[in-house]
Chain A
Amino acid sequence: MSMPSPTTAVPWICSRCGAPLTLGKIEIAYLGSAFPVELWHCRDCGLVLIPEDLALGRMVEVEKMLEDK
């Protein structure tokens, strides 16, 4: 499974750490399948950002696909 890599910077910083976000491979999983996806996250505490377009776009497709597996 492939997910689009984020292309543009996001306006968010980690509220707790005050740190800017970095891009890196983060594992996401559903129904027993796990995938590394390039995502913004806090480099200090690891809080991960799933942007709206990913959640409502490609992610829904992958969810549906896995649900029909």
Chain B
Amino acid sequence: MDQKELRELESQCIQEHAPPCTAACPLHVDVRGVLAALVDESFDAARQILVKRLPFPGIIGRICEQPCRGVCNRKDAGEALEIAALERACATFGALASPTRRIPARGKRVAVIGGGLSGAMTALQLTRKAHSVTLFEATERLGGVLWSTPEELLPREVLVAELELALRDVDVRLQHPVAAMDLKTLRTEYDAIYLGVGRSAAGDFDALLVKVDPVTLATPEAGIFAGGRAIAETSSFIGSLGSGHRAAISIDRYLQKASLTASRENEGAYATRLFTSLEGVTPAPAAIPANPALGYTRTEAVAEARRCIQCECMECVKVCSYLQHFGSYPKQYLRQIYNNLSIVMGERHFNILINSCSLCGLCGEVCPEGLNMAPVCRDARQLMVAQKRMPPSAHDFALRDMAFSNSPLAALARQAPGAQRCDYVFFPGCQLDASAPEHVVQVYDHLRKTLPNVGLLLRCCGAPADWAGRHDLFEESIAGFRADYVALGGGTVILACSTCYQMFKTHLPDVPVISLWEIFDAHGLPEHPSLPTPLALAIHDPCTTRYERDVQDSARSVLHTLGCEIEELPFNRERTECCSYGGLMWLANRTLAETVVRRRIAEHPADYVTYCAMCRDFFADQGKPALHLLDLFYERDLPTRATRPSPRFSQRHDNRAWLKRSLLANIWEETMSEAHVAAIPLHLSEIAATRIDRRLILEEDIRKVIGYVESTGNCFRNPDNGHFLAYYKPANVTYWVEYSSAEDGYTIHNAYSHRMEIVVQPKAQEASV
């Protein structure tokens, strides 16, 4: 990802865009922030936020035309917010901020002609920027057209007090009319001039006013700017303030010799791109003041402010525990990922952010702008690997698991016995092999009865390597598949795992594939016991089927034919959630993975049924009764089967190896030539086995440690209980095992591991010992 790609991706996330109210306000008042402060009953804070943008809250709060209100999202859930009335409440109940320390004057002098709203606004903004401002007003009072409002609406003492306060640093000259002919002289005394004259006085300045630039408010005469009602297409109070504000920006830039035109998009009112869902928002009408003339009381204002839905997007964060986990949203995450990838020296705090994503793509589905974090995280991982910056521990275990599946111990490619070619190749996938090997045997029997020339291919599709950013290993895995596939003579690949399905479709587009469920649906179901009725199950679509309607439909159709009552989860089909296996989240961030599973299993009270072995195993491990679709065909005691925990990692290896051995023996009448690791019998208590499994230590690792001790004698001994403690480092991880000898092997009491290396190794045993 380069800067440009980052910018493009960042621009897709609209979370930081202004809410509609703020965007529609020519002054961009932070309405959302003001209302949030009111909800907290902090009228002072609310007022402070308000006056950052709106200097005359008492006046405007009574008379504003409220372009914000017209677009307030609340209008579709009751009624738009009474924004002006709330601003008035801020002015009434909020304390005045203590005057900010003045910055030293910068020596520039500006003349403002006209003491109406736009002139007052320009004058105020320029004094805030430390320019010296003189305001010339033709009449004997400030406020211009404000004096034509009804007095009940805008009490005159409010009008006068607020303007006087705002302009206390301005040199105000009342009853001081300026005519067009005076400009030349004024221009010699002042560095810039603002014409904020009303409609009545406009005629005099016509020559200048007809050619005002709508963006900069510059007149053709350098240093002279104009705004206010005299040039407005439609006149409004808030519009006048807006042009006063715009003019002040221009004049300040002019005085600093900066560009008048650079980046002024979205300066006035505009339509925001921010999306805000109204889901879950209960419609509510506006609060009505008990005494309309007095406006809202404090209590009424707070009640009204509570109706603000605090517009924001967060659509993706709402549905994704991963995006929630890191406390922000994609716009920020993209920047963090980008920075993380660019660091040369120093800590990469966001490695964990990159490695925790399940790559499931739900964010892309729910995002109103289609921003999908999955490819971003996947590409980032590839880059980390290329930079040699991928933490070695992040994916190691899964990659070794994959290597095992593709090793001679577990991998197998055969044509159907007696066949000369393959019309079909059954590819169950390494995790079904690991979780339910006996079902693989049964399905293969069924397929050979139903379809002609069905070959068998046991191996891993390579997904772990793809998820780990290991392009090299992924290519190797794909090449291994291709070699087997070609040797089998091609054919349509029947896939039981949706991750395999996704990998094949993405990376092997030339290989024809079909899901096992479509085969069942089209060619008939395997023989099966009749199901207990009624059997209601909530179906979980594996996240890799997100856009595979046909696969999802066929799974439902199979369930339907079985007589199952299907309950739909609130997040299903293209909005389905990952079980935490995806992207190796389960390995890279185990705390988060548990949150993800718990969230998913809480979505429906019914037992779940799914068509991915990993989803089932993860759900069951967190206590949710869950069945694999195949369980309905091949298991009789469904309640027990549904609560079956996931086989331990060692067992998963053994299951794959068993599957290969037994298929070879029973179908092809071959014995395995590859010797299984000479198995030293190990005895583990349930507790020890579970603990060691959680620590990602396999029985084969333990056997290597003991084998090492057998050949070197290097170990510790506890004279009190006769236990041994030894370590061995077969590759990157050092394994420690505490064990004792048993009659027919070893009893394993404990095992742990680390990655740091012990630099000094024990002296070799002397020959004489």
Contacts and interface: CB of A to CB of B under 8 A. Distances in A.
A68 B393 CA distance: 11
Interface in A13-69: 13-16, 21, 26-31, 34, 42, 44-50, 52, 55-56, 59-60, 62-65, 67-69
B757 A30 contact: yes
- Residues of B in contact with A, size category: 35 or more
A61 to B, nearest CB: 11
B393 A67 contact: yes
A67 B717 contact: no
A34 B762 contact: no
Contacts of A21: 716
Nearest to A42: B762
Contacts of B510: none
Contact of A15 (B349, B724, B736, B769): B724
A64 B724 CA distance: 29
Contacts of A30: 755-757
Interface residues of A, number: 34
B765 interface: yes
B532 interface: no
Contact of A11 (B718, B750, B762, B769): B718
A2 to B, nearest CB: 14
A16 B763 CA distance: 11
Contact of A52 (B348, B713, B734, B750): B750
Interface string B371-397: 000000000000000000001111000
Contact of B759 (A27, A31, A42, A47): A27
Given A45-B763, A47-B762, A59 B754 contact: yes
Contacts of A16: 713-715, 762, 765, 769
Nearest to A67: B391
Interface string B680-716: 0000000000000001000000000000000001111
A14 B714 CA distance: 8
Interface in B36-73: none
Given A55-B754, A68-B391, A47 B736 contact: no
Contacts of B753: 55
Contacts of A26: 758-760
Contact of B754 (A31, A45, A50): A50
B716 A49 contact: yes
B759 A64 contact: no
A12 to B, nearest CB: 4
Given A30-B756, A46-B761, A63-B755, 19 more contacts: A12-B716, A12-B717, A13-B717, A15-B717, A15-B724, A16-B769, A28-B756, A29-B756, A29-B759, A46-B762, A49-B716, A49-B725, A50-B754, A50-B758, A55-B753, A56-B752, A63-B754, A67-B351, A67-B391
26 contacts: A12-B717, A14-B716, A14-B717, A15-B717, A16-B715, A26-B760, A27-B759, A28-B758, A29-B756, A30-B755, A34-B759, A46-B760, A47-B715, A47-B716, A48-B758, A49-B725, A50-B727, A50-B758, A56-B695, A63-B393, A65-B347, A67-B351, A68-B349, A68-B391, A69-B346, A69-B347
